[in-house]
Structure 1
Amino acid sequence: MNALLFSFVVLATFVTLCNAQCYFIPNESSASNGDLPDPGIEARSPALAGCKDLSGVTHELKSDWKTENCESCHCSNDGIECCNTAAIPMGYDRDKCQAVFNKETCTYTVLEKKDPLKNCTVTAWVL
């Protein structure tokens, strides 16, 4: 019984960590408050509807795209879902090392603070 409970706690932790890297922008019809601004979908006929992202760019319904912040996004009838695609380093010595993000490759490198030419060991990554 304890092994089953432990397995459930581990699984729940991983699901939480994975979902923490995603967000959702509902379209106007999905929003519970009609006074909210329209971040999700333009008010046009359903055949021409598209999703408006946080930058104000409209994307076709059922389209996928990548943002300059290394997120993978999808436009659906309900709105936009975006998830981070860069694995974030978690298991490293934060006193001796620092994580450096490369926006062009959507990757992190963990380097020593005193000697930035040396890599640090990373034992855990979160996507």
Structure 2
Amino acid sequence: MLCRRIQSRVCSHIGTKKKICSKTEELARNKLTAQGMAMCERLGLRYPIGSIWQSEDCMRCSCSEVGLRCCSMYTTPRKFPPECEAVFDKENCRYVVHVKGNPKITCPAFAGVG
């Protein structure tokens, strides 16, 4: 599973003395903590500390005192027969490898990333 910490969207816990937000996020963080909430923000949506969710772009995200962490929920195929292609199925958050021009015939994937 491919994971990354989203540095520009780091959040902080109320009462902490550590500065863990970037300068561009400082104003937004101060506004949220002034309202008595500790939250993370991703794609314009706010999430409370302790929340875990699946995003529309097939990422599993979590919000903690340390910050926002998102991991892809799928593996991207890298090695498969040359007569095949990998197509992303957004509805099921996965890649399907099939014969080019014929999605009914699946192909094996020998390696993947994520």
- Identity, in percent, stands at 29
Higher share in strand: 2
Q: Which ranges in structure 2 are unaligned for 5 or more consecutive residues?
A: 13-18
Match of 2:45 in 1: 57
Quote the Cα distance in structure 2 between the aligned partners of 1:112 and 1:119: 6
Contact 1:96–1:114 (Cα < 8 Å) also in 2: no
Say whether residues 1:82 and 2:70 are aligned partners. yes
Task: Supply the distance in 2 between the matched residues of 1:109 and 1:83 (Cα, whole angstroms).
Answer: 19
Matches of 2:48 and 2:35, distance apart in 1: 11
Number of aligned positions between the proteins: 104
What is the Cα deviation at residue 118 of structure 1? 1.5
2:92 maps to 1:108: no
Residue 27 (structure 1) aligned with residue 15 (structure 2): no
Scaled by the length of structure 2, the TM-score of the pair is: 0.74
Find the aligned partners of 1:85 and 1:96 in 2 and give their Cα distance.
26
CA distance in 2, matches of 1:57, 1:114: 38
The one-character-per-residue Cα deviations of 1:65-102 (angstroms, maximum 9, x if unpaired) are 11011111010112100000112212202x32111111
Query: Residues 46 and 79 from structure 1, CA distance in 2 versus in 1: closer, same or farther, beyond 3 angstroms?
Result: farther
Q: Extract unaligned runs of 5+ from structure 1.
A: 1-17
* Backbone CA RMSD of aligned residues: 2.6
Deviations along 1:8-54, one digit per CA (max 9) or x if unpaired, are: xxxxxxxxxx5xx22212237314x53x245x85641495211111x
